[in-house]
Every structure is written in C-alpha cells, then in structure tokens.
A and B are shown apart, each in its own frame.
Chain A
Amino acid sequence: AQSVAQPEDQVNVAEGNPLTVKCTYSVSGNPYLFWYVQYPNRGLQFLLKYITGDNLVKGSYGFEAEFNKSQTSFHLKKPSALVSDSALYFCAVRDKTDKLIFGTGTRLQVFP
C-alpha cells in the first residue's frame, strides 16, 4: 500500500540557516509527490510537486525538494529560513486510486 513517512515531529532551525524537512515514501509504480504547508487556523497551501522530470523541484516561497528514487525520499529544503516559515509541513503521495495520502506532518520552528 502507498504510504508516506515524516520521521520528525518537529524541526528547529535558526533564521538564515538552511532547513530540511524529511519525507520518505512507499509506492508501487512511479510516485506523484507533493508538499503542502499549513499555518494556524488555515487550510493547506500547495508548495511544490514532483511527477516526472528533474529530481530537483522548485516551488513557492523559495522552497525546493529533491526527489531521490533509490532512497525513496522527497525532502523539502530551503537555503535560508525565515521566521515566517514556521508552520506545519505535510508531504503527500498520490495513490493508485488517485487520492492523496498524507504524512503525519512536521512542525517547523524558525528561531530569530
């Protein structure tokens, strides 16, 4: 069965430092992968997706993600974190029935 794992409940990083939020997946066939961000009392905002093509995907707000097929990972990265990036981040995979399976979420805390 398709699944997504986000091994870290929380990631702490200082403002200006690079950040990484980890995601690994398990799918049969080619993966369709997504990252979303959720701010308090808001819905999910789409950041980026990987369907095919370059392994490095660039998205909104300076975020990017690296698809690694051999490690079945799709880690979210940003070269320089902002305090305003503090939020809940979700990785998701589209399963073979075309519905999104979400990870448990990672809370990113960026300290000034």
Chain B
Amino acid sequence: KAGVTQTPRYLIKTRGQQVTLSCSPISGHRSVSWYQQTPGQGLQFLFEYFSETQRNKGNFPGRFSGRQFSNSRSEMNVSTLELGDSALYLCASREGRDQPQHFGDGTRLSIL
C-alpha cells in the first residue's frame, strides 16, 4: 500500500497570505490527523477528522482549519499567515482507534 502522501513538500509564503496543505491517507484509513512541528514547541496536535467530521481539536487559533472529503483525503488551511506559523506540518492516518498513526513526510512551510 502507498503511504501517507502530503503535498506540497515545501512552501514559501509571506505574512498575511493564506495556504492550503493536502494529505492523502493510506487506502482504507478513515482517520486523518494533523500536527505542527517546530523546534520550540515540538509536536503539537492540530485536529483529527473521521468520516468528514472533525472529531478532535487542539489548542490552535481559528486561523487554522481543516476538512476531510468523502475519499478521506484531507486539507488544512491557514489564513492570515504569521511568522510563527513557519513549521513542518505533518499529516497522519490510522485504520482504527487502537492502531498506530502513520505519518507522511510533511509540508515544510516557511513564512517570510
């Protein structure tokens, strides 16, 4: 099976812009989670989607949003970008509640 695919791998934006990141989960996985990884804050949970519904949400401002489509693919949107949004954004999918999450290679977002 193909792994979790995230596009694009690298992205450069300027402050105030918005960005959309994409994630295709492993085939058959209906749960998709997003994480932000920074040197200062480490790995932080953003949200989780299951069957097109947000099931869980981390402690991030409303500028961070996401959605999931009927084929389980997910997108994450960040509006009004700030310098502090520079990070590696990781997507993960899992088959079931007791199964491990499998991660993509991430999208590295740089804000100038």
Q: Interface on A for B, CB 8 Å cutoff? A: 32, 34, 36, 41-46, 49, 51, 90, 97-105
Contact = CB atoms under 8 A, between A and B. Distances in A.
Contacts of A103: 42
Given A43-B90, A99-B56, A51 B98 contact: yes
Interface residues of B, number: 21
Given A41-B105, A42-B105, A43-B105, A49 B43 contact: no
A104 B42 contact: yes
A34 B48 contact: no
B106 A43 contact: yes
10 contacts: A36-B103, A41-B105, A43-B6, A46-B103, A49-B100, A97-B56, A98-B56, A99-B33, A99-B45, A102-B43
Interface in B76-112: 90, 92, 97-98, 100-106
B4 to A, nearest CB: 7
B58 A99 contact: yes
List the 9 closest A-B pairs by CB distance, nearest first: A43-B103, A102-B43, A44-B103, A46-B100, A43-B105, A99-B45, A43-B104, A104-B42, A99-B56
Interface string B39-56: 000110100100000011
B97 A98 contact: yes
Contacts of B42: 102-105
Interface of B: 4, 6, 33, 42-43, 45, 48, 55-56, 58, 90, 92, 97-98, 100-106
Interface-centre pick from A43, A97, A99, A103 (highest chain B CB count, 10 A):
A43
Contacts of B45: 99-101
B102 A99 contact: no
Nearest to B100: A46
A49 B4 CA distance: 19
A34 B101 CA distance: 10
B57 to A, nearest CB: 9
